[in-house]
């Protein structure tokens, strides 16, 4: 342990709480992954003891009494506190939401996960058009202005990439394990409204959704989803969609795997069969038993993850509020259970209201930790009675060659006697 780490550990909770109350002692902790955590904020929220871990360094803001100097005047655009620097983790193909740094259930729009297949296109909303054609009575073109004239609807739901599972080493954060899920309040027009407008012919059973990115990304969607709850969304968390989320308009299929929610949507073609596009054949399909390959795997099954305490935090003995997120693409979360003894006993967590359909649901569980090394786990059950499986249950159901899609296993965190928390990766191949 180097000197910086030692000094970080010396800060006790009382100091942090006092500092938070006075809004002066700001301790910025930088994690190994480059994220910065405001420890005072965590403690003031009752997150429990210290949040620093090995590998962190500290910076302290100079003491300054904000009551003795005029603050900055109103601005034309709000800002995030410079002491708060949540970041996505970006790779060549995707970037991941810092689940462990967020509160509540809404993901700030700029922290929504990203997965693009041909980069983020620049689209002039004045030139934007959505063409709906194929097996319809009246093929039509809608401008963005047209779309906004139709009855609008807002709903909160999660979006999750079907490839949202990483494992392999103990020092992984929730963001690294399953940061390809995010939640927004989406606003737009129900696709059923547009389908009525064009007059869908009775033989149409599928529709193609096509984006205007460089991949001209396409997926075939069963039309039942179009009548059920699909939307063309143009709003996200109270403002226009972010470019990374499909500006100016995207398809939203609540509860269905992320890539089917075609961003920058330019065309919908009604058909009597799926088109067998590259993304629904060579990608987003996965091996199951007997050498077979599962296709058109749309719904995201129920899942949960404890986001606190989780790597890289370190906790102290005593009361800890275990917190996390649970969600299901098949409806509402019915219950979340917590085990603090490596799965021997399970107890119900409290669910934060409102518990919404196909939405991230925050859970809480109060735990009085005795300081002994243990494992903590969460498992979600949705309204269909589906209970989040273990990885070994998934392997048993799909066979040893199961691919990387639609994996939603129970995540275990190993709490060491010194309070450090590590992911417990399982061997599965």
Site for another protein in 118-157 (CB under 8 A): 118, 131-134, 138-143, 146, 149-151, 153-156
Q: Where do the DSSP E strands lie in 214-254?
A: 218-222, 231-236, 239-240, 250-252
User: Regarding beta strands 421-423 and 114-115, do their DSSP bridges make them parallel or antiparallel, or are they unpaired?
Assistant: unpaired
Closest approach of another protein to the CB of residue 57, in Å: 35
Residue 301 contacts another protein per CB under 8 A: yes
**Angstrom distances, CA of residue 313 to CA of 376, 413, 420:** 14, 11, 6
Task: Specify the residue, 206 or 365, whose C-beta has the smaller distance to another protein.
Answer: 206
Closest approach of another protein to the CB of residue 368, in Å: 32
Residue 298 contacts another protein per CB under 8 A: yes
Q: How many whole angstroms separate alpha carbon 240 and alpha carbon 149?
A: 15
Report the Cα 303 to chain-centroid distance in Å: 11
**Angstrom distances, CA of residue 254 to CA of 32, 218, 226:** 34, 17, 11
Could you tell me if 341 and 374 are in contact, meaning their C-beta atoms sit under 8 angstroms apart? Answer: yes
Q: How many whole angstroms separate alpha carbon 131 and alpha carbon 134?
A: 10
> Which residue among 24, 57, 192, 414 contacts another protein (CB under 8 A)?
192
Residue 399 contacts another protein per CB under 8 A: no
Closest approach of another protein to the CB of residue 334, in Å: 11
According to DSSP H, which parts of 69-221 are helical? 144-149, 174-178, 191-198
Residue 21 contacts another protein per CB under 8 A: no
Residues from 151 through 190 that contact another protein (CB under 8 A): 151, 153-156, 185
Nearest alpha-carbon partner for 107 in 92, 90, 88, 91 = 88
Using CB under 8 A as the binding criterion, the count of chain residues that bind another protein stands at 85
Residues from 75 through 114 that contact another protein (CB under 8 A): none
Binding part of the chain for another protein, among 16-24, 31-39, 266-274, 368-376 by CB under 8 A, reads 266-274
> Which residue among 13, 87, 387, 424 contacts another protein (CB under 8 A)?
387
Binding part of the chain for another protein, among 68-76, 77-85, 276-284, 372-380 by CB under 8 A, reads 276-284
Residue 357 contacts another protein per CB under 8 A: yes
**CA R_g for the chain:** 23
Task: Specify the residue, 223 or 421, whose C-beta has the smaller distance to another protein.
Answer: 223
Closest approach of another protein to the CB of residue 93, in Å: 12
Residues from 196 through 235 that contact another protein (CB under 8 A): 196-197, 199-200, 202, 205-206, 208, 210, 214-216, 218, 222-224, 227-229
Q: How many whole angstroms separate alpha carbon 7 and alpha carbon 58?
A: 8
The tokens for 147 are 């779309």
Residue 337 contacts another protein per CB under 8 A: no
Q: How many whole angstroms separate alpha carbon 178 and alpha carbon 377?
A: 15
Binding part of the chain for another protein, among 15-23, 39-47, 336-344, 354-362 by CB under 8 A, reads 354-362
Residue 327 contacts another protein per CB under 8 A: no
Task: Specify the residue, 129 or 316, whose C-beta has the smaller distance to another protein.
Answer: 129
Nearest alpha-carbon partner for 114 in 215, 230, 246, 208 = 246
Residue 288 contacts another protein per CB under 8 A: yes
> Which residue among 67, 81, 282, 368 contacts another protein (CB under 8 A)?
282
- Work out whether the CA dihedral 278, 279, 283, 285 comes out positive or negative: negative
Binding part of the chain for another protein, among 39-47, 53-61, 265-273, 313-321 by CB under 8 A, reads 265-273
Q: How many whole angstroms separate alpha carbon 392 and alpha carbon 373?
A: 23
Query: Is residue 255 left, alpha or beta, with left meaning phi > 0 and alpha meaning psi from -120 to 50?
Result: left
> Which residue among 77, 273, 344, 368 contacts another protein (CB under 8 A)?
273
């Amino acid at each position: 342990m180097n000197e910086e780490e030692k000094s970080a550990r010396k800060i006790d909770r009382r100091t942090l709480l006092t500092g938070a109350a006075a809004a002066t002692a700001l301790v910025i902790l930088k994690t190994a992954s480059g994220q910065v955590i405001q420890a005072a904020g965590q403690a003031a929220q009752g997150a429990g003891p210290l949040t620093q871990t090995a590998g962190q360094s500290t910076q302290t803001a100079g003491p300054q009494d904000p009551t003795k100097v005029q603050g900055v005047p109103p601005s034309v655009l709000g800002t995030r506190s410079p002491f708060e620097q949540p970041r996505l983790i970006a790779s060549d193909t995707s970037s991941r939401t810092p689940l462990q740094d967020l509160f509540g259930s809404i993901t700030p729009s700029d922290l929504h996960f990203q997965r693009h297949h041909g980069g983020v296109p620049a689209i002039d909303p004045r030139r934007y058009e959505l063409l709906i054609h194929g097996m319809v009575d009246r093929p039509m073109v809608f401008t963005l202005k047209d779309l906004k004239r139709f009855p609008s609807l807002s709903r909160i739901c999660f979006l999750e990439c079907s490839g949202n599972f990483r494992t392999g080493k103990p020092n992984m954060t929730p963001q690294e394990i399953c940061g390809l899920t995010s939640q927004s309040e989406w606003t737009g027009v129900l696709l059923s409204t547009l389908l009525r407008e064009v007059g869908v012919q009775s033989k149409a059973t599928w529709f193609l959704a096509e984006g205007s990115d460089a991949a001209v990304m396409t997926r075939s969607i069963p039309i039942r989803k179009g009548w059920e709850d699909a939307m063309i969304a143009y709003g996200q968390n109270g403002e226009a969609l972010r470019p990374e989320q499909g500006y100016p308009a995207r398809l939203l299929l609540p509860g269905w795997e992320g890539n089917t929610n075609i961003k920058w949507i330019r065309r919908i073609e009604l058909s009597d069969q799926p088109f067998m596009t590259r993304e629904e054949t060579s990608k987003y399909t996965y091996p199951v038993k007997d050498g077979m390959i599962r296709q058109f795997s749309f719904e995201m099954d129920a899942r949960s993850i404890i986001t606190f305490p989780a790597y890289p935090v370190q906790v102290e003995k005593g009361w800890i509020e275990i917190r996390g997120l649970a969600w299901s693409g098949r409806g509402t979360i019915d219950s979340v259970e917590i085990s603090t003894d490596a799965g021997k006993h399970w107890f119900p967590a409290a669910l934060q209201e409102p518990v919404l359909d196909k939405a991230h649901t925050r859970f809480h569980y109060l735990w009085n930790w005795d300081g002994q090394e243990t494992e903590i786990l969460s498992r979600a059950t949705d309204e269909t009675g589906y209970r989040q499986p273990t990885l070994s249950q998934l392997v048993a159901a799909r066979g040893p060659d199961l691919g990387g899609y639609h994996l939603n296993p129970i995540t275990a965190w190993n709490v060491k006697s010194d309070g450090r928390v590590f992911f417990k990766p399982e061997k599965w191949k």
